[in-house]
């Protein structure tokens, strides 16, 4: 049975900004492909929440923080597998200095 996937406000804001970027740069088809990729990733995480990498959990000393890459887009979904849902914290471009950035602002 799949868990619910819950987006924190920052994750929702990240997605909205990325969609707006792709819509402006490549049009609605590209933005739609990005949304499809996000939906595919969240379905996967709902079914298999333990599959994400713990790399940033160890680097940042944030227990349980996992990341999962989007297919065909350079973004990572940052989340924690909670008891009854998947708690999505952020969606960040993989080229960012993610450890420094997450350490600075946290998950809120």
Q: 4-105 belongs to which homologous superfamily?
A: RelE-like (3.30.2310.20)
pLDDT at position 90: 92
pTM exceeding the 0.85 threshold for the entire prediction: yes
Q: Could you read off the pLDDT of 29-69 as tens digits, one per residue?
A: 999 999 999 999 999 999 999 999 999 998 888 899 999 99
Distance CA 42, CA 70 (A): 9
Give me the residue spans of the domains in the chain. Answer: 4-105
CA angle 66, 56, 74 (to 5 degrees): 75
Q: Could you read off the pLDDT of 66-108 as tens digits, one per residue?
A: 999 999 999 999 999 999 999 999 999 999 888 776 665 555 5
């Amino acid at each position: 049975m799949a868990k619910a996937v819950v987006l924190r406000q920052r994750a929702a804001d990240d997605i909205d900004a990325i969609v707006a970027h792709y819509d402006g740069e490549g049009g609605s088809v590209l933005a739609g492909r990005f949304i499809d990729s996000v939906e595919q990733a969240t379905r996967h995480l709902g079914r298999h929440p333990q599959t994400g990498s713990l790399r940033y959990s160890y680097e940042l000393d944030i227990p349980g923080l996992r990341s999962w890459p989007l297919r065909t887009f350079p973004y990572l979904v940052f989340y924690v597998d909670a008891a009854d849902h998947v708690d999505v914290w952020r969606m960040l471009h993989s080229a960012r200095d993610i450890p420094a950035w997450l350490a600075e602002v946290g998950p809120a």
